[in-house]
Amino acid sequence: MEATGSVCAGPGEMEIQGGVLHKYCGGKAHVFIPEGVTEIGPHAFEACGALRTVALPDTLRSIGAGAFAGCSALEGVQIPETVDSIGVRAFWACTNLAAAALPAGLTEIAPGLFEGCAALAKAVIPQGVRRIGEYAFRYCRALEEAVLPPSLEEIGEGAFWDCASLTAIALPQGVAAVPPAAFQGCLALREISMTDSVTEIGAAAFCGCSALVTPHLPGSVRSLGEGAFDRTPFSWRSHAVCDRCGGSFRGVFRRFCSVCGRPKGY
């Protein structure tokens, strides 16, 4: 099919106008998008339950919001390096998606991009990405590894919520805040690495991380939100003051001062 077609003529056909693939009308398991397509429009393949693989052309520049949302049989996708924009929830609830290679031209992981991709095992965020959007990987319960680039500056609320298989996370130097519910419900999370650029940890950020034994909070942390470490191996107070440095430790676990490290009494 040429990228200048304009109508959905029957099973396996696509509606393409001016290089934009607006709608896929077929029910095939394997789809090849023709060269010349520069954009996959919003919701173009949404809820195509039979779709297992899709071949994207090297002419592609952007993937619209919800483009493949609900494609529950989709197993993997190789996104060309030419793509520099992927919309909100583009792969939402692709429950069988095990792998997705992201292109180097991205600057943001859109909100809800892989939310509900229950089979996704690894996420490598390319260098150049500055922001991971809200709920981008929420409910990716098979996700064991998330590699964050040095370019990252911001993580959205609930970005890794309920990634129950995630075992470790290393926040790069540019990240100054761990937002609310960022890692809530990450049951296997045993290790967090934070730099001294982190000054704030939001409410319920690590709530329910029941395997988290030693959080190693840097001394730069000045604010912890309510319930930041609830349902972890630590005991917490709503408020405590260190008798050595005089700092306020609202929400900080009560065994050690997060600023000077001194053990506190009960």
Sketch the domain layout of the chain as residue ranges: 241-266
- State pTM to two decimals: 0.86
* Phi and psi at residue 37, to the nearest 5°: -75, 125
Residue type, 36: G
| Spans of the chain below 70 pLDDT | 1-12, 234-266
- 3-state class of 211 per DSSP? coil
Residue among 211, 239, 209 at smallest CA distance from 224: 239
Tens-digit pLDDT profile for residues 99-120:
988 999 999 999 999 999 999 9
- The predicted structure's pLDDT at residue 214: 72
Residue 17: C-alpha distances to residues 1, 4, 21, 37, 71 (Å) = 12, 6, 7, 9, 23
Return the SS3 of 14: strand
Q: What is the pLDDT of residue 196?
A: 93
pLDDT at residue 12, as a whole number: 52
